[in-house]
Each structure stands twice: as structure tokens, then as C-alpha cells.
Amino acid sequence: MADGKTVTSPPVIEVNNIVKHYGSVIALSGVSMKVSQGEVLCLLGDNGAGKSTLIKTLSGVVRPTSGDFLVEGKSVTFSSPRDALDAGIATVYQDLAMIPLMSITRNFFMGREPLKGIPPFRHIDFKHCNAVTHEEMRKIGIDIRDPNQAVGTLSGGERQCVAIARAVYFGAKILILDEPTSALGVAQTSMVLKYIHQVQQKGLGVIFITHNVRHAYAVGSRFTVLNRGKTLGTCAKGEIGIDELQNMMAGGKELQTLSDELGGTI
Amino acid sequence: MAQIEQQAAPAAKPDERIRQVGFLTHMMRRPELGAVAGLVLVVVFFFFTADPSMFSLSGLMTILAPASQLGILAIAASLLMIGGEFDLSIGSMVAFTGLIFGALLTNFGQSLWLSIVFTLLLAAVMGAVNGQIVIRTRLPSFIVTLAFLFILRGLTLVGLKWATGGSTQLRGIEDVVGDGLLKQVFSGVAFQPLFNWLAEHDLIEKFDNGVPKVTGVPVSVLWFVGITGVATWMLLRTRVGNWIFAAGGDPVAARNSGVPVDRVKTGLFALTACAAALVAIITVLDAGSTDARRGFQKEFEAIIAAVIGGSLLTGGYGSAIGAFFGAIIFGLVSIGLTYTQFDSDWFQVFLGSMLLLAVLFNNFIRRKVTGER
């Protein structure tokens, strides 16, 4: 299994032998992976494989127990999600990205509100914010009537797209998408996948976490499979078939047998 | 099926399933709508049942004075509620800071300005402690501040007895304060010259000796209006306002986006305590004394006013203007019943029903806003 020979540009994120212990629980026991500009790395793995711990490490929520973490070739240690954001690593969480009761504009600029005016009267430049939000939404093909409408009125797929658009707008170099499609229907999934492809074309690196091999195969350029806190392997798109990938992720035989029993429907 | 499609076709611009928002729906999105509707309802009710003197200038001032004191608390409470937390210790905080303020003036012989600054500072610190306990223990603020409701009320009693040598009322504040510009900022009435002028020209009611029946606007009303304005601007236009909504709407999502949720919440707890201290200063200076029952049950009244004003109990939604109207409704009903034939004991029945209605209405509005089905 080759380690992504096709990619020539230097990796934006590279981790080597990352280990994370939670007390006596070993969540990650030596994970290595890297992502370069303009590629979609799919992180595949079953429940408990260590996907969420890995994301939390990359996005600065938890600190690794040991291992190297390089951003653009330089070793880094993040002490908060803010640090990761500043380094250009933006994470979009499945259902924790947007606040439904707040307007699209307020959500879009949350935590990074542009201000104007002199100190005691400094306030958010809402005119600018609304214009930007409207424009960014239009670019990704979501026609909103009013950027002041609550995010709760958007569909799940639209919310994911808004969250991704926000990260892109604020200059993310790497996007980490935590199961962005797992709660979505078919049409909405394709909307999100299409947008991921668009983001990739722009030259951003994307880490796409999923346990749906089909979704991964649709947009991924490389696939890293995690199992029991370890990297099982990484392969580029041409090197592996969708079924092989599925088997690797599920840890082999059992699923294959089950799949045969059910007539190949898994 | 075909018929429906045909009907929908002409309207189909961007997405045919999204209806155009009408003016009414747009208004429905405003959190304070419920409070405005309630205010209209209550005014109409009293217009037909109450003695006309209720709506005279003096009648209105009688209503506004207590409403404004409650309102200052209600606005702070609603900001805190929007931020996702509660403070049940506001009422006790009024009593406690009242004691501190009174004792500083009388027992310790401090100047008025020093007493005011120290009282506000102490309140801010205690509010922040409240907030830190809530944040660090991750206990619901309901239970933490309920504990403080009793602790502060008890401390007030103990402190009063210590400060007065056994009494539950601390008197003689008027004598030590005297009369100065600073006192006028916190007590008495404003715009006296204007009201005198109006009386001279027979534009408002006056006594036979020419003194107007209403000598001015109570300063607490000015504080109330000012605080409403500042709070509204802060909520709707500033970064802190956005953070307050975010902290209450979903603290995890807010944190992920880089909002300092803990700092926002701690600040809100401190602000609420300061509002309680401000009310304590105003009422103590007005009465010239303080006692153990000051601010009794004000925490509930403030939360009720905030809820009537459209704040959600679950946080993330509400408005300061709503709390403003909520407090006025409260004042109208509590004072207004004495102008009617009704027994004023109906007040609590009225209040409870109002609260229930407001909560049901708010829930309905929230579903509208978020598009939940």
C-alpha cells in the first residue's frame, strides 16, 4: 500500500505516531497521516476507531500524549480551538456548527465579528456582514431571502454548507469535516459532497471523516483507514476499490460474510 | 397533484417551497411582540374597568416608579437568561447590597460616592463568584443561585442585627447623606423645573397653592429607560451581544467558533448583581433606611417580567425591550387593580395566568423562528 505517491505538494498537516491516552484508556496508539493542498483525505473507521479523538487533537480541543504534529512543516502544539483556527485549521462539527435560534449572519460571523466605530460605541458592521453572507450563500447556490432569518429555518445540508462556507471565508487552509453527511438525506448529501469538491478545487485541503465508504469514494483523493486507534493504511483513489475499502474499514471478514448473506446490500 | 403543481408554478422563483415572508410573520419574529400585545391587552382592560385617574399623570408615575425598579432587575435578568443562565439570588442581593450600602454610610461613616462605588464593586465580585461556581461545577445555575438566595438573605438578617444592635431595620441614612448632586442622580425626581413650568401654564394638574401634583419624573424611571436603551444596543449591535446570544443558544457551538463563553457568562452574572445593587442604592436613598425584607421575591418578579418580555427559559432568545414592557405590565397590574372594583388580591392570579400565557406564546414563537415542525 503506497503512501500517496501521487501528491507532490508539501503537506499542510502532517502527524506522525500520535498517541492519546485518556487515563487508562488508549484512544490513539500511533496514528500517522498527512493532508496537502487541494486534496480530500477521507478518514474512515468504525465506531471506536479513534476518529473523533484524532479530530479533537487536530482542532486543538485535546492535546496529544505524544507524537509529532506539523503544520506546514513546523511542529505545533495547540492549547485551544482558537490556536488551531489561527493556524488555518477549521473544524465543522456535525450538529454543533450552528446555533438555530440565531440569524444566518450572526452565525456566519460568530466569534469573528467585524467592528466599526470608536471604542465605547464600537459595534458590529451589520450592513457589511449581511452583504457578505448573502454573497457567500449565493456562491454556494443557497438562495436565502433574508440573511437575518434564523439558521433553524435552513435544512441540515444547507446548515453544513453554511458552516463550510464560513470556514472558507475566514481563510481556512484545512477543513476538517466531522461526518457532515451522516444525518442527511440523498439530495442533501449530494449538495454537501458537491460543495466539498468545490472547496477542493479552490486549493484547500479537506479531511473528511465518515463511515460511509460511498460518500468517501465520491469525493476523496486518498483514504486513511483507522482501526482500534491505529492507522491501518493509506491509499490513493486509483489503488483501491470501493469494496476493498469497505472491508478494510470493517476489519475484514465478518462484514463480508454478512454482506453475502444479505445479498450484497451493505 | 397536477392541480397543486400548476398553482405553485407561477410563484416559483428561487425555491417554490419557501413562502414569501409577510409583514405579520416578520413582526412575529420579534421577541418583544408578546410583551407589546400583552401591554395593549392590559391597558385596554384597565381602560374599561379602572378609575380614569389611573391614566392621569400622577397615576402613571405611581405605576412607573415600582415598575422601573423591577425593570432594572428584569433587564439584567433577561440578559442573563438570553446568555443561558438564571439568577435566583437577585432579590436577596438587593437586600444584602442595601445593608452593605447602609452600613458603609452610617456605621463606617463613609462618603456617599465611596459607598456607592464599593457597593457596586462588591456586587460585581459576588456575581462573578456566583458565575464561576456555576461554570466550574457545571451545576445548573438554578440550584447554585437558589443556595445564594438563602445565604444572602440570612447574611442580611445577621448583618442588620449586627449593624443596628438587634434591629432588622437600619435607619438614619438620610441624615448622613445630606443633599448633593450625587444623591440626586440616584434618588428623588428629575425635570422639576419643567414640571413647575407646565403647572404654571396649567398644562398639568396642580394643587391650589400652585405646586404641581407630580413634581417630576422619578430618577429610577430615567435609569430604567437608559439601561433599556444601552442593553438593547448592546444585544443587537455589539460583539458582546452576539456572544450573549451564542452562549445561551448553544455553548458548545459558540466555544467551537471561538466565543469566550465562560467570560461572557461570568460577566452577565456580575452585571445582574450590579443591577441589584443599583436598585438597592436607589431604594435605600429614597426610603432613607434599609430592612431585611428589601427585594423580597424580586427574583421571581424579574424573571416573570423577562419571560413576559419574550426571553426563552432555555436561553439564546429574548430582548431587553421585551423585559422593559414586561416590567411595565407588572407595574400596571399590581398597582392598577387598586383603581378597579376588583379585590387587589386577584393580582397573583392575574400574574400567574399572564406568565403561563407568555410561556406558551414564547414556545409557539420559537417554533416559528426555527422552523421546527
Residue A23 burial (10 A CB sphere; 0-12, 13-18, 19+): exposed
Mutate which of A56, A95, A96, A99 to disrupt the B interface (most B C-beta within 10 Å)? A99
Whether the CB-CB separation of A163 and A92 falls below 8 Å is answered with: yes
Each residue's pLDDT tens digit, B262-309: 999 999 999 999 999 999 999 999 988 999 889 999 999 999 999 999
CA end-to-end distance (rounded Å), chain A: 25
Q: Does B25 touch chain A (CB under 8 A)?
A: no
User: Distance (Å, rounded) from C-alpha A21 to C-alpha B69?
Assistant: 54
Q: Which residues contact B40 (CB under 8 A, 6 or more apart)?
A: none
Average pLDDT, chain B: 87
Q: Lowest-pLDDT range, A93-102, A241-250, B163-172, B288-297? A: A241-250
Who wins on pLDDT, A51 or A105? A105
Place of cell 431587553: B320
Going by C-alpha positions, the residue among B26, B233, B23, B262 that lies closest to residue B137 is: B262
ipTM: 0.82
Residues of A in contact with B233 (CB under 8 A): 123
pLDDT score, position A154: 84
Which residues does B342 contact at the CB level (< 8 Å), separation at least 6?
Answer: B49
Among candidates B77, B78, B27, B35, which has minimal Cα distance to B369?
Answer: B27
Whether A115 has its CB under 8 Å from any CB of chain B: the answer is: yes
Cross-strand partners of B8? none
Angle (CA) B5 A193 A104, round 5°: 70
Tell me how far apart the 2 most distant CA atoms of chain A are, in Å: 70
**B30 Cβ under 8 Å from any chain A Cβ:** no
CA-nearest residue to A167 within chain B is: B257
Which sign, positive or negative, has the C-alpha torsion A57, A62, A65, A68?
Answer: positive
Asked if residue B206 lies in contact with residue B213, where contact means CB atoms within 8 angstroms, the answer is yes
- B177-235 pLDDT tens trace: 888 888 888 988 888 888 888 888 888 888 888 788 888 899 999 999 999 999 999 99
Locate A163 and state its grid cell. 458552516
Q: Please say whether the beta carbons of A164 and A195 come within 8 A.
A: yes
B137 and chain A: CB distance < 8 Å anywhere? Answer: no
Q: For A51-67, b where at least 16 C-beta lie within 10 A, e where not — what string?
A: bbbbbbbbbbbbebeeb
| pLDDT beyond 90 at B18 | no
Q: Does B9 touch chain A (CB under 8 A)?
A: no
Contacts of A82 in chain B (CB under 8 A): 258
Q: pTM for the full model?
A: 0.85
Contact A152 B254 (CB under 8 A): no
Element (H, E) at B10: none
B315-336 core/surface letters (b: 16 or more CB in 10 A; e: else):
bbbbbbbbbbbbbbbbbbbbbb
Question: What is the pairing mode between strands B169-170 and A174-178?
Answer: unpaired
**How far, in Å, CA of B349 to CA of B40, rounded?**
19
Q: Return the amino acid letter for A133.
A: T
| A55-100 pLDDT, tens digit each | 888 888 888 888 888 888 888 888 887 788 888 888 888 766 788 8
